[in-house]
Amino acid sequence: MRTMFVLRGAPGAGKTTLIRRHRLGDLAIGLDDFRRLYSAPFTDLDGMPTLSMAFGAEKQVVAAFKAAVTARIRQGGTVLLDCTNPSRRSYREFASLARRCGYEVYVVDVQGELTDDELIERNETRRGALDYVEPGVVVDIAARVRAGAASVTERLVDLDEVRRLNTIIETDITGRYERLVIIGDVHSCAGALAGVKEHFGGWDPASLFIFVGDLFDRGPDAAGVLDLIVDDAGRIPDNIVLVEGNHDEHLRMLVGNVRGVGWSHTRESRRQILASGRRDGDIEALLARMVPLAALRLAGRHVLVTHAGLDAATIDRVIAEREDGLLSWDLTEIPMLQLLLGSSERSTTFRGRSSYARAVEPRLSHPRILQVHGHRNGSRGEDPGPERAADHVYTLEHGVEQGGHLAVLEIGADGTRTLHAFGEDHPMVLAAADSSSLLARMSAHPEVRVREVADMPGVLACNFSRRAFAKGLWDRTSRRARGLFVRASDCEVVARGYDKFFNVGQTPGPASLEEVVRAGVGRPLTVRRKWNGYLAIVSVIDGRLRVLSKSGVTPFSEHASSLLAAHLGERAGELAEIISGAGASLTFEVISRRDPHIIDEGDDKVILLDAIRNQEDMELLDDLRLHLAETFGFVSPRVEVLARAADDSALTALAARIRAAEERKEEGFVITYAGGAMAKCKSQYYADVKAFRAQLSRRADGRPIRASGPGTRLMRAFLDRGDAEDLLERFTLDGLLGPVIDVPALVAAL
């Protein structure tokens, strides 16, 4: 398991004694171990044994020590740095490497409050041994250890906490979930994983999902896999557990700049992810969620999920049963590399390889534990075997990236086991015969992502990539790919939102309000208040009224559906008939207390924004919007005519409308000009609060807080409060995807 413990203390502090007392000797490594290897036996004037570092031996010792520590870190073993480490400078190089390799780093202050006299007295007990040092050296090092205490930034622990910090306690999920779903090696096969997600209700919170590792490499769509697990806000559902695989570790090393060559598949995975608009920080956040193994109890059975499988003898060595019947797993002496490659033959382990032969599987069988793993399922000369590899052992590696299938084991609340298989699919080929079709153009565009919508077979969602948004890679096709839903069989648009439009001053939108007026001179210029919620798209698809987010069916769309149903009551069928007959979608701004944004818009409601014809070219149907607002009692933003024929006076009117938005503390407004062009104008109040929210996120992530710019005034007011942490706790509520800060309420309190 990846933990490092840096021991600090002068000779005589008791580091070696403590290590021996806690039976951690095989995990400790120090400079003196290497000095003994580099020196012949010498004696001093008193005839006492000593060492000699003649002929540059000390430099060689330091180099060998560094190489050995680096090797242990790369293997993922528990590391105890048994040196004096007087200041952080002594070990910061190792700490940095360890963190980039996924380690937690701790410091053990062995010297503590010991006085010089006590240290010298302890050191005297070693007189006549190689580890004895002169009293002056003890005093000098002790002083440097005390002076260097202020430089230590890592968490301080005692040595008796080493095993506790490396122990995983089994979790009893009986009664907490309706099922446990264990997913095999995905290997960048987003199509197969999308099938899993759809089959189980889109990461249904009633289920616990565990991935056995190897999310990426070899398959066609690493970015798609990441998008299926991580939402647009960078969040992973709490009911997803990610066990780390060896290919995930490869990605960790690349992102951490630990290894410079090799791993071509992993480099391609990273390239795909970054090309989609994600950043290395998104990859690091995903890796930070990964665990060495998952240990559970369900329906009275112990379940172990590893990446590559642990042998029964090792399991017996590391488990202990607690009074509550749960198992504890002490991984102190299990290097991460063993979990990544699996227990293997002695010679294979020596070479740093895995034993893939299916004959290994019975060696993993433990009578008390159901073990599920991935990574291996037969050597190159063997065909893959069945998922049930041996008694009490399942292997879910079935080569989905090589034309096999993604294996999934479902365990019900009563312990019933069901195996599922999902193939990699490419729904885009359904429209590929006509290269000029809308779907073919969307599919071929490098900045458009096309995904099948969960629970809607044959319906594809088209959305622009993160890279298009981050780098401004806009053209006619990518701007249309924003909540555009197309039936694969006939390329018919079945639902749609808006074409992407931009803030004033945001490329490629208008650079200024002056440009807005110039572009629309002589033509009407109108504005509508912009509500601050999230967008929902409503349409009738295959005879059923559906509520969608831009990407399809999500917890947000389901929440919007419940609010719309509450508003309509028994009239949902009437609304469906009207919009189906018009061939239109409706866009709503959804206001929810469970999804606070920047502006406090009041209690839960749906705001009817527009009716849009279901076709490739965006066409607003304003008469239909007005009719529906009146018929069904929807709130809908009023069209404010600022100029019937835009001229210089329109600029004055826009400035006045901005002042009104500031006074009312609104998000801003949407401008329609130049015969149908649209642009957003945001208030400074909105910008300040949004920047404050970003500052809160930076603070929570441990990143530096910006000292100037938007949001800093609010951040200073927040930090100046003596009860800042209490405020955060008071204004944290149960959001749609987990805990969320009610920023509008927090700002009001400031």
- How far apart are alpha carbons 664 and 654 in whole angstroms? 15
Which 8-state DSSP code applies to residue 543? T
- Band of pLDDT at residue 706, cut at 50, 70 and 90: confident
Pull the structure tokens for residue 54.
Answer: 């003649």
| pLDDT above 90: residue 94 | yes
Is residue 154 within 8 A of residue 105, CB to CB? The reply is yes
- Band of pLDDT at residue 153, cut at 50, 70 and 90: very high
| pLDDT above 90: residue 35 | yes
> Which residue carries 């069901």 as its tokens?
418
pLDDT value at residue 308: 96
- Which sign does the torsion angle of CA 401, 405, 410, 416 carry? negative
Is residue 634 within 8 A of residue 567, CB to CB? The reply is yes
Is residue 508 within 8 A of residue 502, CB to CB? The reply is yes
> What does DSSP say about strands 301-305 and 544-548: parallel, antiparallel, or unpaired?
unpaired
| pLDDT above 50: residue 495 | yes
Average of per-residue pLDDT across 542-553: 93
- Band of pLDDT at residue 594, cut at 50, 70 and 90: very high
| Average pLDDT score over the chain | 92
For the stretch 231-283, pLDDT in tens is 888 899 999 999 999 999 999 999 998 875 578 889 999 999 999 989 999 99
- Band of pLDDT at residue 62, cut at 50, 70 and 90: very high
Average of per-residue pLDDT across 99-103: 95
At residue 688, φ and ψ (nearest 5 deg) are -65, -45
Contacts for 258 with CB less than 8 Å, ≥ 6 apart? 74, 97, 100, 101, 252
Pull the structure tokens for residue 638.
Answer: 């009023």
Rg of the chain over all Cα atoms, to the nearest angstrom: 31
Secondary structure, 3-state, 196-237: HHHHCCCCCCCEEEEECCCCCCCCCCHHHHHHHHCCCCCCCC
Q: What percent of the chain has pLDDT over 90?
A: 79
Q: Which candidate, 670, 664, 663, places its Cα nearest to that of 589?
A: 670
- Band of pLDDT at residue 432, cut at 50, 70 and 90: very low
| pLDDT above 80: residue 701 | no
pLDDT value at residue 383: 57
In DSSP notation, 66-89 reads HHHHHHHHHHT--EEEES---SGG
| pLDDT above 50: residue 33 | yes
Lowest mean per-residue pLDDT among 23-37, 120-134, 375-389, 474-488: 375-389
| pLDDT above 90: residue 191 | yes
Lowest mean per-residue pLDDT among 390-399, 620-629, 665-674: 390-399
pLDDT value at residue 347: 92
Q: Which candidate, 10, 276, 283, 252, places its Cα nearest to that of 142?
A: 10
- Band of pLDDT at residue 429, cut at 50, 70 and 90: very low
Pull the structure tokens for residue 201.
Answer: 């209700």
| pLDDT above 50: residue 634 | yes
CA-angle at 214, arms to 330 and 392, nearest 5°: 55
Q: Where are the domains of the chain?
A: 3-165, 171-313+339-422, 426-491, 532-636, 684-749
| Topology of the domain comprising 171-313+339-422 | Purple Acid Phosphatase; chain A, domain 2 (3.60.21)
For the stretch 11-26, pLDDT in tens is 999 999 999 999 999 9
For the stretch 203-239, pLDDT in tens is 999 999 999 999 999 999 999 999 999 988 889 999 9
**549 - beta bridge partners?**
552
| pLDDT above 70: residue 434 | no
Is residue 420 within 8 A of residue 428, CB to CB? The reply is no
Q: Which candidate, 1, 6, 63, places its Cα nearest to that of 31?
A: 63
For the stretch 645-669, pLDDT in tens is 999 999 999 999 999 999 999 999 9
| pLDDT above 70: residue 422 | yes
CATH 3.40.50.300 for domain 3-165: yes
| pLDDT above 70: residue 381 | no
CATH architecture of 532-636: 2-Layer Sandwich (3.30)
CB-side exposure of 594: number of CA atoms within 13 Å? 12
- Band of pLDDT at residue 388, cut at 50, 70 and 90: confident
- How far apart are alpha carbons 505 and 441 in whole angstroms? 29
Contacts for 388 with CB less than 8 Å, ≥ 6 apart? 394, 419
Secondary structure, 3-state, 173-194: CCCCCCEEEEECCCCCCHHHHH
- How far apart are alpha carbons 521 and 528 in whole angstroms? 19
pLDDT value at residue 426: 38
Average of per-residue pLDDT across 522-547: 96
| pLDDT above 80: residue 95 | yes
Lowest mean per-residue pLDDT among 273-287, 327-341, 384-398, 433-447: 433-447
